[in-house]
Amino acid sequence: MRLTNTATLAFVAFFAGPPAQADSSAPAVLDTYANIAHAGYEDSLTRAQVLDMRISDLIANPTDTNLALARDAWRQARVPYQQTEVFRFGNPLVDDWEGLVNAWPLDEGLIDYVDGGYGDSSDENMFYAANVVANPELRIGGVGVDATAINADLLESLHEIDGVESNVSRGYHAIEFLLWGQDNNGTNHGAGNRPASDFDTANCTNGNCDRRADYLAASSNLLIADLQDAVAMWAPDGQARAQLTEDGSDTGLSMILTGMGSLSYGELAGERMQLGLLLHDPEEEHDCFSDNTHWSHFYDIVGIENVYLGQYTRIDGSVISGPSLSQLVAEADAGVDAAMRTALNHTKSQAMVMVTAAQAGKSYDQMLAEGDADGNRLVQDVIDALRAQTQDIESVVVTLDLGGINVEGSDSLDDPNAVFQ
């Protein structure tokens, strides 16, 4: 993926200080945070609509060119969305919604054909290899599903069916799998390589091209509807915006810092990075089918910085900014603010080192390989920076006298031996 305008602007802003604003009161800071969230989800919706158009083109004319354009639109859609993940933690409404669009990992055998090495059953998941694209009638373990028509209603009914979180039937990663197919390269270079003819009803490969196209179209339409819900949540009269302030400004600030800390530590450093490094497992890769994980992690990190500095660069190049946490902290203790901004700069710098290596041909799953000391170090350096950054976030909480926050943890960081039990 080439550097987008957003990525370039983010890189240039590495050493930027907090934006100068007159009013740095807590309510003003909360308003900036909500405005950034609203803009980020609007941008995510806009990019999802572009993706939907590319998918429609692919289905109408399934050529290699149209498949490449759809894949690029998916990558571009991830740029604003990943910057919104910081709004998930600490905001219960957003956290409940997020699993509809970004649930991961997924058992791709639920959706479509898979390589023989995938296996045909799992003790934990009866729908592990159900293959909805190939099977209009499903009855597994006494559970019956009519999949004759592949539409939004079906995808909604399949999502986390049987209470299994890896039964992901919708969202970015279901679309990613349908566009790329499985990545069977292990820790060797290469992403999934689904042919465009998998959607060509006149020259169909791997069977059921009409149903596969229906699944891709339905999942794209559902993603748009879900993102419209997110935009509404953060609108001036939205529920998430109201929830941010309903228990007072200090609670709202705690929600913001919980999001920053939990994404930094338990989710990103822990579940998405340290776990894969401990296991040396390429399956523990967030955007695993597309080999887009380096960018996915980078924009998560950008999102954390956006929130602290109170500024977000939109996909059209305009900037949303306002009173920030940085200003609020600086007024209480300039040294704590300087340390926090230094930590954010360092983390993003380390993430860019990882991105640069991936862009040069060493993909994220290769970096996880056992025995690859240089690759492992690229990942570990980002993990270490995220862990250190979390300590600075905790210092911010103390400086603002917020009484502590509940940062999400991870066994991979807190109890690594448990990972192997």
What's 334-374 look like in SS3?
A: HHHHHHHHHHHHHHHHHHHHHHHHHHCCCCHHHHCCCCCHH
Residue 136 pLDDT: 94
Q: What is the mean pLDDT of the chain?
A: 93
Rounded distance between C-alpha atoms, residue 413 and residue 388, angstroms? 13
DSSP code, position 270: I
Q: What does the pLDDT look like over 164-186, one tens digit per residue?
A: 999 999 999 999 999 999 998 88
Q: Which of 380, 383, 388 is nearest to 344 (CA)?
A: 388
Quick check: 50 pLDDT over 50?
A: yes
Rounded distance between C-alpha atoms, residue 217 and residue 153, angstroms? 13
Residue 376 pLDDT: 98
The enclosing H or E element of 321 equals strand 319-321
User: Can you give the C-alpha Rg of the chain in angstroms?
Assistant: 21
> Are the beta carbons of 57 and 66 closer than 8 angstroms?
yes
Angstrom CA distances, 222 to 26, 271, 313, stand at 36, 27, 26
Quick check: 145 pLDDT over 90?
A: no
Amino acid present at 284: E
Close Cβ partners of 232 (under 8 Å, ≥ 6 residues apart): 238
Q: Which residues pair with 138 in a beta bridge?
A: 145
Close Cβ partners of 345 (under 8 Å, ≥ 6 residues apart): 14, 15
Chain centroid to Cα 125, Å, comes to: 24
Q: What does the pLDDT look like over 309-322, one tens digit per residue?
A: 999 999 999 999 99
Residue 43 pLDDT: 98
Q: What is the mean pLDDT of residues 45-68?
A: 98
Quick check: 157 pLDDT over 70?
A: yes
Residue 419 pLDDT: 83
Q: What does the pLDDT look like over 81-131, one tens digit per residue?
A: 999 999 999 899 999 999 999 999 999 999 999 999 899 889 899 999 999
Rounded distance between C-alpha atoms, residue 150 and residue 398, angstroms? 52
Q: Which of 351, 337, 346, 335 is nearest to 308 (CA)?
A: 337
Angstrom CA distances, 175 to 47, 90, 216, 392, stand at 14, 27, 6, 37
Torsion angle (degrees, nearest 10) of CA 102, 86, 43, 222: 20
Residue 283 pLDDT: 84
Higher pLDDT, residue 15 or 272: 272
- Range of lowest pLDDT (1-10, 227-236, 323-332, 398-407): 1-10
Residue 99, burial from CB neighbour count under 10 angstroms (0-12, 13-18, 19+) = middle
Q: What does the pLDDT look like over 199-229, one tens digit per residue?
A: 999 999 999 999 999 999 999 999 999 999 9
Quick check: 3 pLDDT over 80?
A: no
Quick check: 148 pLDDT over 90?
A: yes
The enclosing H or E element of 384 equals helix 373-399
Residue 48 pLDDT: 98
Residue 418 pLDDT: 87
pLDDT bracket for residue 17 (50, 70, 90): very low
Residue 14 pLDDT: 40
pLDDT bracket for residue 23 (50, 70, 90): low
Q: Which of 376, 373, 369, 372 is nearest to 354 (CA)?
A: 376
DSSP code, position 145: E
Q: Which residues pair with 313 in a beta bridge?
A: 319
Residue 12 pLDDT: 37
Residue 76 pLDDT: 98
Q: Which of 404, 362, 341, 402 is nearest to 15 (CA)?
A: 341
For residue 174 the two structure tokens come to 């279901």
| Cis status, amide bond into 105, omega within 30 of 0 | yes
Ramachandran bin of 404, using left for φ above 0, alpha for ψ from -120 to 50, beta for the remaining angles: left
Quick check: 13 pLDDT over 90?
A: no
Residue 5 pLDDT: 38
Residue 190 pLDDT: 86
